[in-house]
């Protein structure tokens, strides 16, 4: 069960544990003990499987909007004269004059579109220099355009002024969005993933030999020691050193029994809290989703109820057996891996979630002791008979080989 942080209610709401309860009438009801308010803005910087991040894709879409909107405004300006398309093409493009034509503003938008998509979409650079040159060049040209344009003879000066101001504003918006949204969010997501990757690697400086094995001293028989030297004894598994890749976590019998006891306790508490009465309504969605809250001995607990059109047994098995696939459909989870199965329906897993709230909520990782089971109406675990509900409860624990990461909140 999640415990509240006395220093921050935001942290209490962010540290959510997923708990699923379903009814066997092919309508599944999900209950979450707390609300995950992870910000989508920070998750948008993540590049799943090396693809373009969501925030950069939005930037490319905005650059495309810049081109289309500028072209539309130019068409409105020239069509207000009442000329045909042939006359407009001849006057604005074929016989272009910087003092009377505004087609150069469209060419400027085309140049920005081509340059920005080339460097930030195809080449995928992470530097602000290109957008700085693009915005600076746009502003310089538009300011010069204002001085040389023949305003007294302009047919509709209001639309033409609006076209120039629009191009000026959008170019600065692109620079601001890239420098203050795209690059920082991608950098933060990269740091989080690097921390996750390095978390499982062994940091074994104390085991690194002081003299490299590839460098051998010249053979000498003078002053050789007759003492037999031995390497230090291996660090026991209970010490908080990082787990090596592919290494199995070894637990003692006492640890296994303690984990089983905690898992059964979390299942009992989860089932009891879920079935409490007098929940306070927090929010109701358009599709019947309901978020409720209640103060319990564990602190303030949130319960989410929704309907999923699929067999409850299928959904239960998806949660139970495909833990590693959580990041594929839940964008707030950056990593999910199975650590060890303790007993039937009891396992240990490691998950990492992104930060949120503009930096208020730091990225965090969890070591979750999970208990999954099918229950009867009285909340007893059943195996053979038709269950009344399925449940997945979780509790934060400590596991050897998974020490806290400095860049995340455990």
Question: Do 64 and 24 belong together in one domain?
Answer: no
Residue 410 lies in a domain: no
Sort strands 389-396 and 18-20 into parallel, antiparallel or unpaired: unpaired
Q: Whole-angstrom Cα distance, residue 266 to residue 86?
A: 76
Question: Do 286 and 306 belong together in one domain?
Answer: yes
Question: Do 266 and 145 belong together in one domain?
Answer: no
Tell me which residue has tokens 């002791």.
369
> Which of 193, 221, 253 represents a domain boundary (last residue)?
193
Residue 287 lies in a domain: yes
Question: Do 254 and 385 belong together in one domain?
Answer: yes
Question: Do 95 and 185 belong together in one domain?
Answer: yes
Q: Name the pTM for this structure.
A: 0.46
pLDDT above 80: residue 147: yes
- Residue 382, helix vs strand vs coil: coil
Asked if residues 162 and 212 have their Cβ atoms less than 8 Å apart, the reply is no
Per DSSP, the residues of 350-377 read: EEEE--BGGGTB--EEEEEEEEEEEE-T
Question: Do 58 and 80 belong together in one domain?
Answer: yes
* CA atoms within 13 A of residue 378's CA, in its CB half-sphere: 3
Question: Do 283 and 386 belong together in one domain?
Answer: yes
Q: CATH number of the domain that 290 lies in? A: 3.30.530.20
pLDDT of residue 176: 93
Residue 209 lies in a domain: no
Question: Do 61 and 178 belong together in one domain?
Answer: yes
Residue 53 lies in a domain: yes
pLDDT above 50: residue 209: no
Residue 301 lies in a domain: yes
Question: Do 325 and 374 belong together in one domain?
Answer: yes
pLDDT top residue among 224 and 110: 110
pLDDT above 80: residue 139: yes
Residue 95 lies in a domain: yes
Q: Whole-angstrom Cα distance, residue 178 to residue 257?
A: 52
> Which of 178, 193, 208 represents a domain boundary (last residue)?
193
Question: Do 32 and 81 belong together in one domain?
Answer: no
Q: Which long-range contacts (CB under 8 A, 24 or more apart) does 137-142 make?
A: 138/108, 138/112, 138/167, 138/168, 138/171, 139/168, 139/171, 139/172, 141/104, 141/108, 142/105, 142/108, 142/167, 142/168
CA 167 to the chain's CA centroid? 33
Average pLDDT, the chain: 77
Question: Do 180 and 152 belong together in one domain?
Answer: yes
Question: Do 125 and 13 belong together in one domain?
Answer: no
pLDDT in tens, 218-262: 444 444 444 444 444 444 444 445 566 556 788 888 999 999 999
* CA atoms within 13 A of residue 313's CA, in its CB half-sphere: 6
pLDDT above 90: residue 97: no
> Which of 152, 171, 193 represents a domain boundary (last residue)?
193
23: its two tokens: 């009814």
Give the H or E element holding residue 263.
Answer: helix 253-274
209: its two tokens: 């030999």
Range of the domain at 76: 49-193
pLDDT above 90: residue 135: yes
- Of 128-137, 157-166, 401-410, highest mean pLDDT: 128-137
pLDDT of residue 370: 94
CA angle 204, 208, 213 (to 5 degrees): 145
Residue 118 lies in a domain: yes
Residues 6+ apart with CB under 8 A from 72: none
pLDDT above 90: residue 131: yes
Residue 201 lies in a domain: no
User: 32-36, 73-77, 93-97, 243-247: lowest mean pLDDT where?
Assistant: 32-36
CB atoms within 10 A of CB 232: 7
Helix/strand/coil percent split, the chain, to 5: 45, 20, 40
pLDDT above 70: residue 208: no
Number of domains in the chain: 2
pLDDT band of residue 94 (cuts 50, 70, 90) is confident
Residues 6+ apart with CB under 8 A from 408: 192, 195, 352, 362, 363, 364, 365
Mean pLDDT of 86-104: 85
Mean pLDDT of 171-185: 91
């Amino acid at each position: 069960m999640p415990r509240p942080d006395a220093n921050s209610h935001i942290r209490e709401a962010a540290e959510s544990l997923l708990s699923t309860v379903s009814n066997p009438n092919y309508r599944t009801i999900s209950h979450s003990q707390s609300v995950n308010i992870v910000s989508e803005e920070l998750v948008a910087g993540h590049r799943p499987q090396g693809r373009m991040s969501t925030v950069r894709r939005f930037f490319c879409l905005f650059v495309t909007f810049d081109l289309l909107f500028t072209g539309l405004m130019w068409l409105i300006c020239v069509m207000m004269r009442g000329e045909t398309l042939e006359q407009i093409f001849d006057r604005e493009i074929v016989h272009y004059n910087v003092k009377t034509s505004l087609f150069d503003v469209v060419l400027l938008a085309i140049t920005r579109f081509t340059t920005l998509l080339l460097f930030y979409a195809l080449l995928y650079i992470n530097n602000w220099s290109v957008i700085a040159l693009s915005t600076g060049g746009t502003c310089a040209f538009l300011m010069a355009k204002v001085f040389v344009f023949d305003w007294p003879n302009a047919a509709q000066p209001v639309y033409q002024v609006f076209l120039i101001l629009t191009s000026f504003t959008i170019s600065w918006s692109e620079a601001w969005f890239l420098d203050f949204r795209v690059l920082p969010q991608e950098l933060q997501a990269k740091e989080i993933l690097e921390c996750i990757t390095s978390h499982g690697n062994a940091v074994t400086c104390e085991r690194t030999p002081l003299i490299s094995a590839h460098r051998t001293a010249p053979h000498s028989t003078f002053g050789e020691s007759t003492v037999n030297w031995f390497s230090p004894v291996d660090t026991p598994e209970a010490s908080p050193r990082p787990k090596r890749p592919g290494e199995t976590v070894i637990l003692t019998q006492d640890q296994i029994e303690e984990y089983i006891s905690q898992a059964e306790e979390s299942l009992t508490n989860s089932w009891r809290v879920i079935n409490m009465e007098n929940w306070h309504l927090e929010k109701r969605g358009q599709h019947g989703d309901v978020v409720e809250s209640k103060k319990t001995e564990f602190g303030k607990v949130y319960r989410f109820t929704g309907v999923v059109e699929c067999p409850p047994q299928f959904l239960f098995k998806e949660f139970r057996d495909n833990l590693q696939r959580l990041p594929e459909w839940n964008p707030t989870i950056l990593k999910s891996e199975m650590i060890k199965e303790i007993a039937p329906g009891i396992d240990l897993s490691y998950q990492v979630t992104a930060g949120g709230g503009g930096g208020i909520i730091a990225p965090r990782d969890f070591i979750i002791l999970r208990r999954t089971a099918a229950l009867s109406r009285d909340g007893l675990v059943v195996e053979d008979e038709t269950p009344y509900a399925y449940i997945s409860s979780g509790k934060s624990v400590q596991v050897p080989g998974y020490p806290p990461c400095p860049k995340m909140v455990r």
